[in-house]
């Protein structure tokens, strides 16, 4: 099955000149969604990635991270935008093209010896994935790898990430 055929292209969203890769069509296709999760699981297993936890970034990283964690027999930990988690948090601020943003994780979610796999739907410039890795390394976690459904290869996000396995299923 070609996952790319299930991803809809939406031109000029969210602004003119941008080609948005919409995964809602993939999510709504039962067989395609199963194939995507199964393929991601197999690629992680083939790469020898055996995490204690899968960490997914808000919000689409949750959609793929939870079933992947289930199949890898790992826990799942969300990384969220500020103000979304009710307990005490670790926070990291990172640069955007114009300004900054922040990510948070519960302070009691992970410890310094945990092995983690970071998951999101897409890697573009790599800013959010790198910030997540930086946050987890600050806690003392071992970053085993990254898993993405889509990689926008021309934007160089992969080069910003630590030297660990990086899995992507579809390249644009």
The catalytic site residues sit at 60, 97
Burial degree of 2 (CB within 10 A; 0-12, 13-18, 19+): exposed
Kindly report the three-state secondary structure assignment for every residue of 106-128.
ECCCCCCCCEEEEEEEEECCCHH
Q: At what angle do helices 60-71 and 30-46 cross, to 10 degrees?
A: 60
- Residues 6+ positions from 88 with CB-CB distance below 8 Å: 106, 107, 108
Let me know the angle formed at the C-alpha of 9 by 126 and 11, rounded to the nearest 5 degrees: 90
Inter-residue contact 64 to 119 (CB < 8 Å)? yes
Q: Which residue, 3, 11, 2, 29, is CA-closest to 121? A: 3
């Amino acid at each position: 099955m070609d996952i790319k055929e299930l991803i809809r292209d939406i031109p000029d969203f969210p602004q003119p000149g941008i080609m948005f890769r919409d995964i809602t069509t993939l999510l709504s296709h039962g067989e395609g969604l199963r194939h995507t999760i199964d393929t991601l699981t197999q690629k992680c297993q083939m790469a020898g990635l055996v995490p204690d936890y899968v960490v997914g970034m808000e919000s689409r990283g949750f959609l793929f991270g939870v079933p992947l964690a289930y199949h890898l027999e790992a826990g799942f930990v969300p990384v969220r935008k500020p103000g979304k988690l009710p307990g005490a948090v670790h926070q990291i601020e990172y640069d955007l093209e114009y300004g900054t943003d922040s990510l948070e994780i519960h302070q009691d979610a992970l410890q310094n010896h945990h092995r983690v796999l970071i998951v999101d739907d897409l890697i573009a410039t790599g800013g959010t994935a790198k910030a997540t890795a930086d946050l987890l390394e600050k806690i003392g976690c071992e970053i085993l790898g990254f898993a993405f459904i889509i990689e926008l290869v021309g934007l160089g996000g992969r080069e910003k990430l630590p030297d660990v396995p990086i899995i992507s299923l579809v390249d644009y």
